[in-house]
């Protein structure tokens, strides 16, 4: 009776040993397939991040170029307007002198000059700043129009003392440069995310290597140790990958649309 029990115990142990080996082999095969798929996925997503990075860098450079062009145009326009304002100020002073000296002929001439200089050269933005009513551009009495304008509060105040007015020359340039910086930062994020997916791909490659060589170990303890290390690395890489953002605008269904 004891011999029969010992025989049954031995048979059970023999069966368990092959079952454990088969389970280990099954785990290795399944993990090889899953890891191969996730390696391909991580590599693909990383390449999409790389494509977005290149696109964003190119877009950022174009926006920066446009912004710099607009900035230079703003500087040029501001310089022209400053020269124009100096001319206007000079005529204003001469008009005041002509009024004080009761020189009607000179006053009429100067008012006429100033009227046409303003109507032909002053922008709407500057006109609003110096209290010039653009509706007066069609006035049939330049002298009366100019003299009435000189009575207004801001008619003789330089608009260039106002920082907001000066900044208005560079509004479009600043908007473009801000967009450029924003797109550049997104490109840098894409670069970092692409590198992160590259790291995940490397870890998965190590997992594939470990799983591939696990079957070559005759010593069970060594085989199990390699498989466990591979599983731990797989779990770490997978958790890390799912914390990473997908590429901007990514939608897997978009690749299947006609």
Residues 142-157 have pLDDT tens digits of 999 999 999 998 889 9
- Measure CA of the first residue to CA of the last residue in the chain; give whole Å: 75
The answer for residues whose C-beta is within 8 angstroms of residue 172's C-beta and 6 or more apart is 70, 74
- C-alpha to C-alpha distance for 212 and 64, rounded to whole angstroms: 50
What token pair was written down for 169? 């020359």
pTM for this predicted structure: 0.74
Distances (CA, A) of 105 to 101, 150, 258: 11, 18, 79
Task: State the Cα–Cα distance between residues 114 and 86, nearest whole angstrom.
Answer: 12
Q: How far apart are CA 136 and CA 121, in angstroms?
A: 14
Number of Cβ within 10 Å of residue 79's Cβ equals 11
Name the residue with higher pLDDT: 138 or 252. Answer: 138
Q: Are 162 and 125 in contact (CB under 8 A)?
A: no
Question: What was the pLDDT predicted at 18?
Answer: 58
Higher-scoring residue by pLDDT: 75, 139: 75
Segment 184-238, tens digit of pLDDT: 999 999 999 999 999 999 999 999 999 988 877 777 888 889 999 999 999 999 9
d(CA 47, CA 41) in angstroms, rounded, equals 10
Which pLDDT does position 217 carry in this prediction? Answer: 76
Q: Do 115 and 146 touch, CB atoms closer than 8 A?
A: yes
Q: Considering only 19-23, 41-45, 70-74, 136-140, which range has the smallest mean pLDDT?
A: 19-23
Whole-angstrom Cα Rg for the chain: 40
What's residue 20's pLDDT? 72
**With 80 as the cut, is the pLDDT of residue 243 above it?**
yes
Compute the average pLDDT of residues 19-44.
Answer: 89
* pLDDT band at residue 3 using 50, 70 and 90 as cut-offs: low
pLDDT in the model for residue 4: 52
Torsion of CA 133, 134, 137, 138, to 10 degrees: -100
Question: For position 55, what pLDDT does the model report?
Answer: 94
Angle between helices 2-100 and 142-150 (to 10 degrees): 120
DSSP calls for 99-147: HHTT-HHHHHHHHHHHHHHHHHH--HHHHHHTT--GGGGG-S-HHHHHH
pLDDT of the residue at 256? 56
The whole-angstrom separation of Cα 224 and Cα 14 is 18
Question: Is the model's pLDDT at 158 over the cut of 60?
Answer: yes
């Amino acid at each position: 009776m004891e011999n029969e029990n010992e025989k049954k115990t031995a048979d059970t142990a023999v069966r368990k040993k092959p079952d454990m080996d088969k389970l280990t082999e099954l785990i290795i095969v399944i993990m090889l397939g899953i890891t191969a798929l996730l390696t391909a996925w991580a590599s693909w997503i990383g390449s999409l991040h790389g494509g977005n990075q290149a696109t964003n860098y190119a877009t950022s450079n174009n926006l920066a170029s446009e912004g710099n062009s607009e900035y230079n145009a703003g500087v040029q326009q501001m310089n022209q307007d400053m020269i124009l304002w100096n001319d206007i100020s000079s005529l204003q002073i001469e008009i005041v002198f002509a009024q004080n000296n009761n020189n009607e002929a000179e006053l009429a001439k100067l008012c006429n000059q100033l009227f046409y200089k303003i109507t032909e050269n002053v922008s709407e933005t500057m006109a609003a700043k110096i209290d010039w009513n653009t509706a007066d551009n069609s006035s049939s009495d330049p002298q009366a129009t100019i003299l009435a304008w000189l009575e207004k509060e801001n008619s003789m105040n330089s608009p260039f003392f106002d920082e907001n007015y000066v900044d208005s020359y560079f509004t479009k340039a600043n908007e473009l440069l801000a967009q450029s910086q924003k797109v550049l930062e997104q490109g840098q994020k894409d670069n970092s995310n692409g590198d992160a997916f590259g790291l995940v791909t490397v870890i998965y490659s190590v997992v594939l290597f470990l799983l591939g060589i696990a079957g070559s170990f005759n010593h069970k303890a060594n085989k199990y140790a390699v498989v466990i290390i591979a599983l731990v690395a797989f779990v770490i890489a997978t958790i890390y990958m799912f914390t990473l953002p997908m590429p901007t605008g990514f939608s897997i269904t978009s690749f299947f649309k006609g």
